[in-house]
Chains A and B, each alone.
Chain A
């Protein structure tokens, strides 16, 4: 470091941020050195993306200071962050689909001709150069909507690597990339590092972190765990920092014995292109659909209630063969047979946010009644469910939208428990839920099974599936490629099982 130059290019000090009632960042600090790649790690929901969105000006911090080159920054909107030289490649694709690659690359900082018009020639030429640097054979005039996901990811990266930016945030840039693409990206990152830029690198892939990063900061539940030089830590130590506790502390004990089969799939094909498979769910059991994200876990789950149409196979409930449920009234028909479906997106698909806790709890019961029946005894149900589930709300008449994520999820579960369903199909049981509520939900599901219920669950958090379930069915290419007892599964064995078996029909 030269004399007089600050050791850090960016300093974020004691950043706090809450979304409604849930605190997502608490006194988090992060310091970025020029000419270095800084990994930001933590479990899903640890606050990594929120912290970076604050630095990018997308979210406003509630508390804390941000300095760049020793000057304090305010960052009320992305515009100010960009002009301060902070450039971001967001995790979710954010390119505009109806603009060309060149237009996306220069949007918001378009070069002008002397006459004051858009300098499209320069936009095209510089875009072509940037694409060539990343080994991309794309025309600058191609619309972004015509690109594949991986191509979009690269264009996104090319867009982020601006000559005038000194800080580059990469939020899971490799999610859609294969190994060769990652190498191309790493080459660019090394070049930027050599140019003295500070790079933040968010990724879950351990090998990438150790390959490219210089330092790592770990967050957990919205708080700093620590910052280390990569050369001073092992992958194992990093995981310990991220998890911060033994898995056995988090999850209730598994089922001792399994009951009789309640839901059986035989020769089941989720789509016309996938291989058939068999799957059985027993009473007292929590069965998880695991595997890489988006490999058909949701499709298989949803074909059981008709939200997705299966190609062929038989479905048995309590030994009785059924027709596959239809899209039109599958949920209703299956609910009558004691099967409840808890969708992943509880705000869009599950709860009626504007209605009260009570209404959301009993709406499932209403669905069973004749249209003009009097609703009797519902308040008793509401009271019983609120107590059983420890739903924390101002009152049962408070709108569900005013509850925290964990309590919202409990209300949604309560809707099905109130109907005394026998089987719960749950997508992402703890998405956007804080750690305390997670524990409660795990225990609820386990109690439900202990009382004779059965649960089929999907989750993006593999660790959660391993800890919560009795058995895992590994899904790849819309089919179950193998099954394993959850007690023996690790993230590694699940990934290996998913990737070594090709699910697609030959």
Chain B
């Protein structure tokens, strides 16, 4: 246990990255907020916090998949908006929900193919997709509106066993990602490919007989699908389709992953670090709102924190 905790502060003995630092920040923030304010440690606020944090958490976990192979996905902001727009179209839920996953899966597939087959840099490929999809979303739904299927709203806003449903969304997503990242061939191959890229041995994973390109494409598909899930969750919360709701989500997701100690050069990072990163961003927003700190100051603090954590890691390992 002690050894495991220690590994969170060193990148030498494990490939989970510096997740110990965000853990300390979460504990410190939670302590400060509990002591300094009356509202923080209340049942309503905590449940609200979970619901607020959930879309970012889901999107950040998706982002983790591509960052582990040394990539980045800037298109998820549009994927999220697009998902809410599709859900707000006229049609039965049994058609709309599968349509969201099929279409966003296709977006991830195109991202992955453009990056691996056409050798376009991930930032450019997904930035282009961000614009393309934003345009399509605005065609579908120029301004916020439309109806969201009842089942989606019920799945987000309801409760089960006295606990709010978003909590179960979180458990499901984290459990699924843990299974894929740590318990499957695919997950191990992602770490392997990213480790090779980060160490400057691009061919290493291929020499092990791994289908490198296919795995990278699948990572982008996974990232898109997680973003779609985040979009569905958001649609259930705002109860409409909104072409702007996903705006800047991609940057927050990357921030959450990086604050969680994951190295953007690939191969080193963790799911628990990413969860902690998303929780930090949620706590910052929640706490600073309570402390009446202006949202502009909040944004600046977020950037400062990102810089500080990235600065704790050696530049050679960061890649970006």
Contacts and interface: CB of A to CB of B under 8 A. Distances in A.
A260 to B, nearest CB: 45
B15 A98 contact: yes
A78 B183 CA distance: 25
A94 B201 contact: yes
B208 A97 contact: no
Contact of A94 (B184, B204, B267): B204
A99 B207 contact: no
Given A98-B268, A108-B209, A118 B192 contact: no
B258 to A, nearest CB: 17
A492 interface: no
Contacts of A109: 209
Nearest to A112: B185
Nearest to B179: A117
A318 B185 CA distance: 64
A78 B268 contact: no
B159 to A, nearest CB: 31
A108 B13 CA distance: 23
Contacts of A94: 201, 203-204, 207
A100 to B, nearest CB: 9
Contacts of A145: 12
Interface in A235-290: none
B138 to A, nearest CB: 41
A448 interface: no
B41 interface: no
B179 A96 contact: no
Contacts of B211: 79
A58 B189 CA distance: 19
A96 B192 contact: yes
Interface residues of A, number: 27
Interface in A91-144: 94-99, 103, 107-110, 112, 116-118, 143
Interface string B173-201: 00000010001110011011011101101
A90 B206 CA distance: 13
B205 A118 contact: no
B203 A107 contact: no
A138 to B, nearest CB: 14
Contacts of A90: 207
Contacts of B268: 98
A96 B209 contact: no
A234 B198 CA distance: 46
B188 A98 contact: no
A82 to B, nearest CB: 4
A78 B267 contact: no
A162 to B, nearest CB: 11
B208 A110 contact: no
B185 A118 contact: yes
Interface in B108-164: none
B184 A117 contact: yes
A78 B195 CA distance: 18
A146 interface: yes
Nearest to B201: A94
Interface centre among A94, A96, A97, A146 (most CB of B within 10 A): A96
* Residue in B183, B191, B207 with the greatest tally of chain A CB atoms within 10 Å: B207
A78 B185 contact: no
A83 B15 contact: no
Contacts of A110: 185, 188
A56 B208 CA distance: 10
Contacts of B195: 96-99
A146 B185 contact: no
Contacts of B192: 96, 98-99, 103, 107
B210 interface: yes
B12 A107 contact: no
A118 B183 contact: yes
Contact of B208 (A78, A112, A116, A117): A78
B141 to A, nearest CB: 39
A99 B199 CA distance: 12
Contact of B15 (A77, A118, A143): A143
A58 to B, nearest CB: 6
Contacts of A97: 195, 199
Nearest to A79: B209
Nearest to B203: A58
Residue with the greatest number of chain B CB neighbours at <10 A, chosen from A58, A118, A146 = A118
B199 A83 contact: no
A108 B205 CA distance: 8
Contacts of A79: 206, 209-211
A204 to B, nearest CB: 23
Interface of B: 12-15, 179, 183-185, 188-189, 191-192, 194-196, 198-199, 201, 203-211, 267-268
Counting from the closest, the 7 A-B pairs by CB-CB distance are A98-B195, A108-B209, A108-B208, A79-B209, A117-B183, A98-B15, A98-B267
14 contacts: A78-B208, A88-B207, A96-B195, A96-B205, A96-B267, A98-B194, A98-B267, A107-B188, A110-B185, A116-B184, A118-B183, A118-B185, A143-B14, A143-B15
Interface of A: 56, 58, 77-79, 82-83, 88, 90, 94-99, 103, 107-110, 112, 116-118, 143, 145-146
Given A56-B207, A94-B204, A96-B192, 11 more contacts: A77-B206, A94-B201, A94-B207, A95-B204, A96-B195, A96-B204, A96-B208, A98-B198, A107-B189, A118-B188, A143-B15
